Amino acid sequence: MAGHSRWANIKHKKAASDAKRGRLWSKACRDVMMAARSGGNPDENARLRLAIDKAKAVNVPKDTIDRAIKKGTGELEGESYEEVTYEGYGPGGVAILCRALTDNRTRTAPEVKKIFERGGGNLGTPNCVAWMFSLKGIISIEAGKVGEERLMEVALEAGADDVVEADGGFEVTTSPAAYESVKSAIETAGIPVASSDLSMTAATPVRLDLETARKAVKLLEDLEEHDDIQSVASNLDIPEEMMREIASA
């Protein structure tokens, strides 16, 4: 996949540019609340550790994170959210998988359906595309921060599945179980991590022509803009030159 941008990477760049927006804070806090339902101690709750790390990455203040944890554990009164998965197809048959946290699924479902339809896609039935995806740790390293051999040595020794070129830099993939240890090993080795997350990743990426890819990216962005949608995964794979052209339009 050298020279290409999967949506997992594209959305990380978008999130970085939007980091001061209140919507990202709200979504990050929802994730912290949901994770804290299984226990408020991050040392004993891996999902909570990840949610806290993601909240810190978008500059959510510590006291705001602490309140979200207490809402999740029931120490403070908070909203009641349920986790819902929406899946369907976008322009060119691109597979799309969305994870939402909503306090009213009868409101959220038709809104998500409308976004799919407006973007030239359609909301599908459960498991219509979910079978294409698996949960993977994705750790991105910017170009020029480390040599390929050094990164492979550190990452693979720590239990990573693979190291490949992506977006001019490198992408390290891991199993969910090995994600934290691999990320820690990379950071301990002094290699700066540009972005990291546990993401639903498609085994078979799809490439589209420019105009279809432009429409697909617009749909993915519109879905991520919805307040209830926490994350969007897709099997879209775009050459870097094409992504630059889409971004400059």
Domain 4-73 coded CATH 1.20.1260.10: no
CA dist., res. 201 & res. 163, Å (int)? 15
Best CA proximity match to 123, nearest among 152, 91, 86 = 86
Q: Is the pLDDT of residue 105 over 90?
A: yes
pLDDT band at 3 (very low <50, low <70, confident <90, very high): very low
Q: Please name the CATH architecture into which domain 84-118+205-248 falls.
A: 2-Layer Sandwich (3.30)
4-73 matches 84-118+205-248 in fold? no
Domain residue extents for the chain: 4-73, 84-118+205-248, 132-202
**CATH number at 132-202:** 3.30.70.980
Query: HSE-up of 152 (CA within 13 Å, CB side)?
Result: 7
Q: Is the pLDDT of residue 7 over 80?
A: no
Helix axes 62-73, 46-57, angle to 10 degrees: 150
- The amino acid that residue 138 corresponds to is I
User: pLDDT tens digits, residue range 169-213?
Assistant: 899 999 999 999 999 999 999 999 988 889 899 988 899 999 999
Check residue 13 and give its pLDDT.
52
Prediction pTM value = 0.85
User: pLDDT tens digits, residue range 66-92?
Assistant: 999 999 999 998 788 999 999 999 999
The mean predicted confidence, pLDDT, of the chain is 89
